Amino acid sequence: MPCLGSSSERAGPLYDQVTSNKRRSALLIAAFVALIAVMGLAFSVAIGFGPIGVIVAVLIAGALAFTSYWKSDSIALAMSRAQPADPQVYARLHNLVEGLCIASGTPVPRLYVVDDPAPNAFATGRNPRHAAIAVTTGLLEKMNRVELEGVLAHELSHIRNYDILVSTLAVTMVGAAALLSDFGIRFMWFGGGRRSGDGGGGGNPILLVGALLLLILAPILAVLMQLAISRRREALADMSAVEITRYPPGLIAALEKLRDDGTVVQSGNRATAHLWIEEPVPTREDTEQAKRWTHLFNTHPPIEDRIAALREL
Amino acid sequence: MWIAVIVIVVVVLIFVVWPIAIYNRLVALRLRIDNAWSQIDVQLNRRNDLIPNLVETVKGYASHERETLEGVTAARNAAVSAQTPAEQATADNMITGALGKLFALQEAYPDLKADQNFRQLQEELTSTEDRIAYARQFYNDQVRGYNTSIQQFPALIVARAGKFEEREFFDAPEDARAVPRVEF
């Protein structure tokens, strides 16, 4: 008998992870709607729209949250320039995923390929029935069958644990909030200029509100990201992956290859960073500020720790 | 009056609704085992269908390797005619060994190694071997879950009354999982 954790043993942490992820998602949506409402309030106070501005903002927030839930997977895939993987061309990829789905009793996710030499992969979707896995062409080239299977099992575990729901919601919502605040600030600059031209004296409070907006927004965005990213879940996904394949050396070899490979995903960016199996964004050290942000948004535990944890099995 | 109603409701919940819920859950678990078993059969049939194609393709390049080719065909026929799980397990081992020899031939025949059809069949067969192992692993996981459920209290009472019997695990030979892992 395989000795790696029976299903009754695993039910505990896995079940906890699924419920906690669903709770996080609800919290994320609530925080997002509240954030947009606050932004709407600040904006309409600055412009002088009154309460209608708040209602409009809440409506926009509702629409965005709805889109995030139903369409976030397509958005994340489009942001990474992922193309559907042809079952004929990528037969091995399809075969491996189907095998892992048989082993774990999961519906087969849609499969995508990102044309990028850096080896990496991510999973997205809102639940196991509506999920997708994307891998880079670099991953397919550099990994052998067993290693690729380990990586795919890791991604499939993210799907089964509902990690994908939280992280994909974060991608679209943080993106949308940043876009809206950017738009609002630009609009106020434009409106503020006109106003001070008319009678003067209106510029100061507007600038104040703009500054306030930025002040409110930055930490909330950070909290949202932190909420979505739990380092624990990467380690948990590694463990669940090995539980499916019952073969730790596969994932260990894959992680070692990822560690030793220096290439960086071209289409990776901050918003999608925490989706990937390995951090796709290089650690920039341009300015002091950039450094601090990188540290705050470190999405993955050190790969060395993950390998060590798997070796202990 | 009200107390009587509450007592009746509680009694109905405990002695009727609850056991029915447990019974239905056990039925669902048992059905899942049967489904998992038929998944294994699907993959076994797939392998049995793929092997003749592979043998034909290899014949085109290495027709005089008769011993190896016949070994594969014989193992496949043994698998098709297997009646008991024990026979099936023996035949599976034969197939895995014979396929290993067959795939090893490509090192001696570069043309065979380059053949698109051969490579495709090799990929299909390797992944089918994996799927058989995975389907059995899933079957065993389901059996373990079900066996655990019918032995736990209070489901135990319903299981006894409803004649839910313990299911057997599929016992794979110790090294069965290691063999398809070989990279050719």
- A178 and A307 in a single domain? The answer is no
The proportion of chain A whose per-residue pLDDT surpasses 90, expressed as a percent, equals: 24
Question: Which residue, among A90, A96, A102, would best test binding to B if mutated, counting the most B CBs under 10 Å from its CB?
Answer: A102
What confidence tier does A100 reach under pLDDT thresholds 50, 70, 90?
very high
**A2 assigned to some structural domain:** no
> A222, A243, A259: which is the final residue of a domain?
A222
Q: Which of B127, B135, B148 sits opposite A95 (nearest CB)?
A: B127
- A100 and A213 in a single domain? The answer is no
State how far the Cα of A175 lies from the Cα of A274, in Å rounded to an integer: 13
State how far the Cα of B156 lies from the Cα of B148, in Å rounded to an integer: 10
| Helix A7-47 and helix A203-228, axial crossing angle in degrees, nearest 10 | 180
- A237 and A307 in a single domain? The answer is yes
**A1 assigned to some structural domain:** no
Residue type, A18: V
Its ipTM equals 0.77
- A113 and A199 in a single domain? The answer is no
Q: Does B50 touch chain A (CB under 8 A)?
A: no
Instruction: Provide the shortest C-alpha distance from residue A81 to chain B (in Å).
Output: 28
- A64 and A84 in a single domain? The answer is no
Give A146-206 as a DSSP string: HHHHHHHHHHHHHHHTTHHHHHHHHHHHHHHHHHHHHHHHHHHHHHHHHHHHHTSS-HHHH
A8 to chain B: which residues are within 8 Å by CB? 144-145, 148
| Structural domain total, chain A | 2
| Beta pairing, strands A110-114 & A82-84 | antiparallel
**A107 assigned to some structural domain:** yes
- Span B19-181: which CATH code? 1.20.1440.20
- A17 and A63 in a single domain? The answer is yes
- A146 and A105 in a single domain? The answer is yes
Between residues A274 and B79, which one has the greater pLDDT?
A: B79
State how far the Cα of A241 lies from the Cα of A253, in Å rounded to an integer: 14
- A109 and A207 in a single domain? The answer is no
Cβ-defined contact of B138 to A146 (cutoff 8 Å):
no
State how far the Cα of B38 lies from the Cα of A224, in Å rounded to an integer: 45
Cβ-defined contact of B134 to A103 (cutoff 8 Å):
yes
Residue A312 among the catalytic residues: no
- A235 and A290 in a single domain? The answer is yes
**pLDDT given for residue A220 in this prediction:** 66
What confidence tier does A300 reach under pLDDT thresholds 50, 70, 90?
low
A4 to chain B: which residues are within 8 Å by CB? none
Q: Does A247 touch chain B (CB under 8 A)?
A: yes
State how far the Cα of A251 lies from the Cα of A240, in Å rounded to an integer: 11
Q: Does A91 touch chain B (CB under 8 A)?
A: yes
Q: Does B127 touch chain A (CB under 8 A)?
A: yes
Q: What is the pLDDT of residues A234-269, one digit of tens each?
A: 888 899 999 899 899 999 999 998 888 766 666 555
Q: Which domain holds residue A187?
A: 7-71+172-222
Cβ-defined contact of A102 to B134 (cutoff 8 Å):
yes
B120 to chain A: which residues are within 8 Å by CB? 91
- A26 and A51 in a single domain? The answer is yes
Q: Which residues, other chains included, contact B77 with Cβ-Cβ below 8 Å and sequence gap of 6+?
A: none
**A211 assigned to some structural domain:** yes
The answer to whether B43 touches A101, Cβ cutoff 8 Å, is no
- A124 and A193 in a single domain? The answer is no
Q: What is the pLDDT of residues B37-51, one digit of tens each?
A: 998 889 999 998 999
**A112 assigned to some structural domain:** yes
Q: Which of A6, A96, A146 sits opposite B144 (nearest CB)?
A: A6
CATH code (residue A123): 3.30.2010.10
Q: What is the pLDDT of residues A160-217, one digit of tens each?
A: 988 888 877 777 776 676 666 666 666 666 655 444 444 444 455 666 666 566 556 6
Domain residue ranges in chain B: 19-181
State how far the Cα of B51 lies from the Cα of B57, in Å rounded to an integer: 10
Q: Which of B123, B134, B141 sits opposite A91 (nearest CB)?
A: B123
- A157 and A246 in a single domain? The answer is yes
B124 to chain A: which residues are within 8 Å by CB? 91, 95
**pLDDT given for residue A1 in this prediction:** 31
